[in-house]
Amino acid sequence: MNLEEYSRFDGLGLAELIATKTVSKAEVTAAAEKALDAVNGPLNAVVHLVDPAVHPVANEAGAFAGVPFVLKDLGHRWAGAPSSMSSRLGVGLKFSEDGPIAARFKQAGFQLMGVAASSEFGMNAVTESVLHGPTRNPWDVTRSTGGSSGGGAAAVAAGIVPVAHATDGGGSIRQPAAWCGLVGLKPSRGRNPYASAAMSDGNAWVVAQHVVSRSLRDTAAALDATCGPLSGDFIPVPRPAKTFLSEVSRKPRQLRIALCTNWLDASPTDPTCVQAATEAAKCFERLGHIVEEVRPDISYLEMTDVCFELFLPGMSDGVLAVSAMTGIPASEDTLEPPTLATLQKSRRQTTDELRRALDRAVWMSREMGKLHQRYDVLLTPAVSQLPCEVGKYHASTYKQGDTSFWRKEGELYAFSPLASITGQPALVLPHFVDGCPLPVGIQLTGANGDEATLFQLGGQLERARPWSGLRPPIHVAA
């Protein structure tokens, strides 16, 4: 299997080739290794290689049996795989037992190839950790992939693997998906397991685990493989009666869609990003849906502040847990300025501050609940700016104690934090704009628990405006 053949198929396509014995698992794994050799150097996407023989396919009957896969260097808890959190604080860290999401990835049959770069502890909107260096965008290596799941996004966009693990606590699945021309879903709060015996669950109210991929059906099938509550989950979301994969090909009823291209109190959205959303709106109208322009009465500035306050407790617990496991103290020598400043801020956070943030989060959730009484889907640009230059938001640009990075970098992906606060599912899809060489995308946000409508509408768009044939300049088949 050569690299052109390998990269032509999405994850389910490769799994079918393996299941029908058209190719062997060994051939597919060898192709993935060649793909890594071909393009990983200029991209710096996969930062820890693993021996596939040490991590064999755990379930030969899984939907993705034998499909090459990379984990994010943050929160994966795949036993035996490096898990440095892309931080000097986490060097040498590995887990001896699988966490919940890793166990489900294994049951899906993925073949682990390596661990992809993240920003340190998922803090930044660019994947440029001091430990691993910058990850570069396959569409333009002078540009960022976004963060914090930037390594996995670069690996998928360049054809190294068809699917990659990703996490999202404010946009970390969706922003890299948009900047790399991929599909990225942040599932509903509680849809996928988050619980961890070895790490804090304190971020579970804003952080979700899932994947980035090149096809909508891969994202849907991955959710079928990973969703469903663990016994005792605080927010148990049951598995649906129908598979998410089946929803991708199901034509939706006529939907009412709210279009918003700029939040209240937000900086202006880049015109190209606005164009992507408005073009998508026109496409949806041609498909028979009703689109109306709406702007929720929710301040972007308050959104970012609330998301940050909710992020603090679990982030602090996670950093301190890693420090305890590695025996490396948390200090200026082991943490980047934004991470250390956030840790210090979390130690000053009062119960009143956290309570107020929770109160406002509930208010925002109810406001979005009111919106969804009238509209099925909220359509926005996926991001508010085009991919920034590598280095513009590097950790070294911030002083010790400075937490302003959260608001500054949030302006790159202003449409992401709200769904993390409210727990709604949000799906980013590629939507290229003529004349723009860089990817932009759109975001579809649904009511809590309603991924099905997003997959139906997204499937319509994928059929109307297919993106699978679009490839970046840095690609394994280039």
Known catalytic residues are 72, 148, 172
Q: Are 185 and 426 in contact (CB under 8 A)?
A: yes
Q: Is the peptide bond before 148 cis (omega within 30 degrees of 0)?
A: yes
Task: Measure CA 19 to chain center.
Answer: 28
- What is the Cα–Cα distance from 342 to 148, expressed in whole angstroms? 16
Amino acid at 348: R
Q: Are 329 and 188 in contact (CB under 8 A)?
A: no
3-state secondary structure the chain: CCHHHHHHCCHHHHHHHHHCCCCCHHHHHHHHHHHHHHHHHHHCCEEEECCHHHCCCCCCCCCCCCCEEEEECCCCCCCCCCCCCCCHHHCCCCCCCCCHHHHHHHHHCCEEEEEECCCHHHCCCCCEECCCEECEECCEEEEECCCCCHHHHHHHHCCCCCEEEEEECCCCCHHHHHHHCCEEEECCCCCCCCCCCCCCCCCCCCCEEEEEECCHHHHHHHHHHHCCCCCCCCCCCCCCCCCHHHHHCCCCCCCEEEECCCCECCCCCCHHHHHHHHHHHHHHHHCCCEEEECCCCCEHHHHHHHHHHHHHHHHHHHHHHHHHHHCCCCCCCCCCHHHHHHHHHHHHCCHHHHHHHHHHHHHHHHHHHHHHHHCCEEEEECCCCCCCECCCCCHHHCCCCCCCHHHHHHCCCCCCHHHHHHCCCEEEEECCCCCCCCCCEEEEEECCCCHHHHHHHHHHHHHHCCCCCCCCCCCCCC
Picking from 67, 8, 9, 71, the residue whose alpha carbon sits closest to that of residue 45 is: 71
- State the Cα angle at 116 between 110 and 118, rounded to 5°: 130
